[in-house]
Structure 1
Amino acid sequence: MAGNRLQGAATGRLREWWRERRSWELSEEARANVRTLGALVTVREAVPSLTDEARTMLQGARRELEAADTVLLFDEHRRSPLGSHVTAAHLHLNAARLLWARSFVTSPQDVSPYLAGLKAVVNEHLPPGDPRRKSVERLQGISSADELVRLTEAVEAAQAVALREKLRAASFVRIVCCVAGFLMLLAAGVAVLTSVWSQAVPMCFNPSQSIGSVATAPESPVSYRVVCPIGSDDSPRSPDLDDNVKAVATWGDYVVVEVVGLVAAGVAAASALRKIRGTSTPYPVPVASALLKLPAGALTAVLGLLLMRGGFVPGLSSLDSSAQIIAWAVVFGYSQELFTKFVDRRGQMVLDAVRGPTSPPQGTATAPGPAAASDSAGV
């Protein structure tokens, strides 16, 4: 019985984590909005002088609220843990809000108390030059059905723009995660293939050494050493370079270099946290950007050392020890920042494009603060 209780508690904790791992707070916010708008619909339905058209609008709003509530139920909706359920719930909320506003068609002046909030939605997402925003900005109150129609059309357009902003963020996360997964599979494939055929493309160097030095054995027919990531030979026995390299190269050379590059990339991702401002969307753009750095670091470490072995970097074609190879693997693994920084910038641009109540109005530029200025200078 005690074991069953412990297992049940662990299962409950796991389900809690699964439910809250991304957007639990945003889901509760959407649920609160459903309740608030539902109360407004209920109050509106109690007006005895409503026309049949207005009641039809309110019934549609009620159905949209029920759909939003269903989407937000984690245990029933199959896409609940992915964050897209929050966006889907906001779609139903937006539709419900528009239907509720259009129920005032016979008494448009009753919408005037809610005009400021509706205008704020329009100003957040529509650019200043948009004619629908201009027509709404001129409104000081709602006194006719035509003005109500202009207001609801502008709100609907702003909601469509907001949806595209969120979908763009979701698409960016999916693309980055797919690329990161592909690079991780590629790095794993390189490690597996080179462990099976360790002598196909050995990651070894042959630094020269003077004849008669202490490290050179008298019986060695060559004046160089063979140095690999996890082994070396100071006195090669064969006059053929390929035979000497094959005798030292092992299956773990690429694995060690990839692990070192991955660790260096992880350190780079951790250092990049100082520039992350977080996100209020259910889509983890910063996390996806950080995950991309890990396989990129493993691959850049391998490719960088192969370029050095091929003599691509003048003066650095022959490393002297295994420690130097590992050190350069760290450098190349960290240097993936040269490539992934563009992804980081694009991700921040995608996040900045998702407008919200605390965002500056469309078309306005904000002056960078001291911290932002110092970051820009550092980049």
Structure 2
Amino acid sequence: MADKTVDAAKARAARQKKEERPSAEDTPILRGRAALFARRLSKKTPVWASRREMGPWEQKEGLLARIAELEPILGAAERRALRDPDRRDVATQYAAQARSELDIAKAVLEHHSHALMRRASHLGVAQSHVDSALNLMIWLCSADDIKALLPQMLRLIDDQFATGDPQRIRATEIAHALREKNSTISTSDRAFLAGTVSLARRLIRKETLRVRSFVRIVLVVAWALLVAAAALAVLTFRWSDEVPLCFTPENMREYHIICPTGSTTPVPPTEPPTTAEVRSATQRADYLVVQIGGVLAASVAAAATLRRIRGTSLPYNVPVALAFLKLPMGALTAPLGLLLMRGGFIPGLSALDSSAQIIAWAIVFGYSQQLFTRFVDAQGQALLNAVHGHQAAAQQAAHP
């Protein structure tokens, strides 16, 4: 009988060892993240796949490291909870669910698990499952463990709730009570802390999703403006004489036709030039030169604006999207501003007498797109501050 028992145990150990043997797909992970990184850069991996993963690579590795750190902590908390009569009945269930959340987070972080063109969505989903595991661990932790976690939880609650918020006040009272000697935590206080911390984390994810939505809207608008600017350049290059950017100043009783890329004198010069003469003086590159000047001015404005925008650890490039928006805006505001001047909309500036003046005003109008995009800049910075909580927003308001 004993021999049969020993043989059965050896058979189970052999099966377990066989099941734990790494497969071909798991080999790169077991050999280290460097091997996985090299595999993604190899010829077998599509170029688009490796490129879209390199951006948030640090955040992904940080989440994987955090999961690896939480797994042994969860096991230790479960063993201590099983020895506690007050938490023994829920320890196994909560620990199993927390492990399931961590496993889901690891599966989401795999390179093939997220959809194409959603470059950072897998990070947000994985973070949500990690946060869920952390909330479940609050039910497993002892009073001493919760005391150790109090600074982190209070910081999270203080960042997401206003000073006079009842939940923030109640969390502070529970923290003061726990810091007293030989104090314990009741089931209701444990439930309140778990629920409040969970709500704070959901608020952070909500603000993060708002940042992602904002970036996508800005990029869509920027691409639409870019298409409009390109269409304007193509149409005006093909039909350059339909809407001329030329001016007809009078100097010493003589009229001249001044265009962005050249000038001419009507015949006779003492009479105002006709519409046909103005249209014949236009050049194909008139609008293109003006748009280039507007884009250059807008790029300078974008560089000047970046100094006022704080960087972010989020995987969504808010400053880059805002800077990209300014370029097509400058390409459109430059010719539109000159058309307003040519139509006499700005008194006293309806007759520019040199091509240099036209290009100079194109640069001014290209930079003037800042009058419109500065409101978008302010909204982007406000969203970034909201992710970091009320204190960050107040500090940014006090020191803009």
Q: Distance in 2 between matches of 1:341 and 1:146?
A: 48
Which residue matches 2:99?
62
Q: CA deviation at 1:79?
A: 5.3
Are 1:233 and 2:264 matched, yes or no?
Answer: yes
Which residue matches 2:130?
93
CA 1:127–1:205: 2 relative to 1, 3 Å:
same
Q: CA deviation at 1:37?
A: 1.6
Contact 1:225–1:236 (Cα < 8 Å) also in 2: no
Q: CA deviation at 1:251?
A: 2.5
Q: Distance in 2 between matches of 1:178 and 1:82?
A: 16
Q: CA deviation at 1:80?
A: 8.0
Which residue matches 1:342?
375
Are 1:177 and 2:208 matched, yes or no?
Answer: no
Which residue matches 2:54?
20
TM-score by length of 2: 0.79
Which residue matches 1:84?
121
Q: CA deviation at 1:335?
A: 1.4
1:243 to 258, 276, 279: 276
Match of 1:232, SS?
Answer: strand
Q: Distance in 2 between matches of 1:279 and 1:44?
A: 34
Contact 1:237–1:244 (Cα < 8 Å) also in 2: no
Q: Distance in 1 between matches of 2:71 and 2:348?
A: 73
Contact 1:268–1:334 (Cα < 8 Å) also in 2: yes
Which residue matches 1:115?
150
2:193 to 151, 155, 158: 151
Are 1:352 and 2:385 matched, yes or no?
Answer: yes
Pairwise mapping of residues 154-303 of structure 1 onto structure 2 (< 5 A)? 154-211=196-253, 223-236=254-267, 241-303=274-336
CA 1:119–1:143: 2 relative to 1, 3 Å:
same
Q: Distance in 2 between matches of 1:99 and 1:8?
A: 40
RMSD of aligned C-alpha atoms?
2.7
Contact 1:229–1:323 (Cα < 8 Å) also in 2: yes
Q: Distance in 2 between matches of 1:80 and 1:336?
A: 30
User: Tell me, which stretches of 5 or more residues in structure 2 are unaligned?
Assistant: 1-40, 179-183
Deviations 1:220-271 (A, max 9, x none): xxx4111111122124479761110111113221111111101111111122
Q: Distance in 1 between matches of 2:205 and 2:245?
A: 50
User: Tell me, which stretches of 5 or more residues in structure 1 are unaligned?
Assistant: 1-6, 212-222
Q: Distance in 1 between matches of 2:365 and 2:392?
A: 42
Contact 1:261–1:301 (Cα < 8 Å) also in 2: yes
Match of 2:249, SS?
Answer: coil
Contact 1:74–1:80 (Cα < 8 Å) also in 2: no
Deviations 1:144-198 (A, max 9, x none): 1111011111111111111111112112111211111111111112112222222
Q: Which amino acid aligns with 1:128?
A: T
Match of 1:70, SS?
Answer: helix
Q: Distance in 2 between matches of 1:13 and 1:191?
A: 32
Q: CA deviation at 1:24?
A: 2.1
Q: Distance in 2 between matches of 1:224 and 1:281?
A: 59
Q: CA deviation at 1:53?
A: 2.9
Q: Distance in 2 between matches of 1:160 and 1:30?
A: 17
Deviations 1:334-360 (A, max 9, x none): 11112211211221111111117xx83
Q: Which amino acid aligns with 1:226?
A: I
Contact 1:108–1:144 (Cα < 8 Å) also in 2: no
Deviations 1:316-371 (A, max 9, x none): 10111211111111111111112211211221111111117xx8378x65795xxx
Q: Which amino acid aligns with 1:175?
A: I
Q: Which amino acid aligns with 1:91?
A: S
